[in-house]
Amino acid sequence: MASTADFRNGMVMDIDGVLWTITYFQHVKPGKGGAFVRTKLKNVLTGAVVDRTFRAGEKINDVRLERRPVTYSYTDGQLYHFMDQQTFEMIPISDEMLGDDQLKYLKENMECEGLVHDGNVISVELPQFVELTVSQTDPGHKGDTAQGATKPATLETGAVVQVPLFVNEGDVLKVDRREDKYLTRVTG
């Protein structure tokens, strides 16, 4: 058991048999009445996000999820299949469970983390930083060197990020997938 004082981003809790991850929390102490904690919770299985308020000191069931390496293999059009690196079993995951924010960065043979509950992989998380090749971008124009100028670039997975003008097609970029943000050029 844990209380609201133990809340942190990424913490997983069991509410009525459903696993939820805390994506945001804020302790609030109003001038009148009791303190409370305002949270945004993400359903581990479906990806649905809800707002929920807890009274200060309220007890919750926290859950420890094991993390296990998995590798993305292929999609059959409906499910995305990952191979468990420990058992070599194929794990089918639906696109709703992965979420559009992850799918746009997923490529074959990508090393990911499987979240394990009761011995079963229930969800998959991509690495925060991914390296992908630029498949399409406009060329930078000579003399167009304004500080901080950017242009859109389409990556090999279909994701679009804003990049500096010197980035060309075929360059490999390191991208923060959680913020859809260009970090650095790896090769080019």
Instruction: Report the C-alpha gap between 31 and 26 in whole angstroms.
Output: 16
- What CATH superfamily is the domain 66-125? Nucleic acid-binding proteins (2.40.50.140)
Please say whether the dihedral angle defined by the alpha carbons of residues 96, 99, 102 and 104, taken in this order, is positive or negative: positive
Equal fold, 66-125 vs 129-187: yes
Is a pLDDT exceeding 90 seen at residue 132? Answer: yes
- What CATH superfamily is the domain 129-187? Nucleic acid-binding proteins (2.40.50.140)
Query: What pLDDT is attached to residue 25?
Result: 93
**Residue range 143-167, pLDDT digits in tens:** 656 677 888 999 999 999 999 888 8
109 within 8 A of 145, measured Cβ to Cβ? no
Two tokens, residue 96: 């709703």
Shortest CA distance to 24 belongs to which of 37, 35, 5?
37
Instruction: Report the C-alpha gap between 13 and 3 in whole angstroms.
Output: 11
**Residue range 29-71, pLDDT digits in tens:** 998 889 999 999 988 877 788 999 999 989 999 888 888 999 9
Query: What pLDDT is attached to residue 51?
Result: 95
Helix or strand or coil: residue 107? Answer: coil
Q: How confident is the model at residue 129 (pLDDT cuts 50, 70, 90)?
A: very high
Helix or strand or coil: residue 103? Answer: helix
Measured CA distances, 104 to 47, 96, 120, 126, 161 (Å): 15, 13, 25, 11, 11
Q: How confident is the model at residue 124 (pLDDT cuts 50, 70, 90)?
A: confident
Q: Give domain limits for the chain.
A: 2-63, 66-125, 129-187
Query: What pLDDT is attached to residue 142?
Result: 63
The average confidence (pLDDT) of the chain is 87
57 within 8 A of 50, measured Cβ to Cβ? no
Q: Tell me, what amino acid is at 32?
A: K
The residues that bridge with 51 in the sheet, in sequence order, are: 40
Measured CA distances, 83 to 49, 87, 113 (Å): 27, 8, 11
**Residue range 70-105, pLDDT digits in tens:** 999 999 988 899 999 888 899 998 887 777 788 899
The predicted model gives 127-138 an average pLDDT of: 92
CATH topology of domain 2-63: SH3 type barrels. (2.30.30)
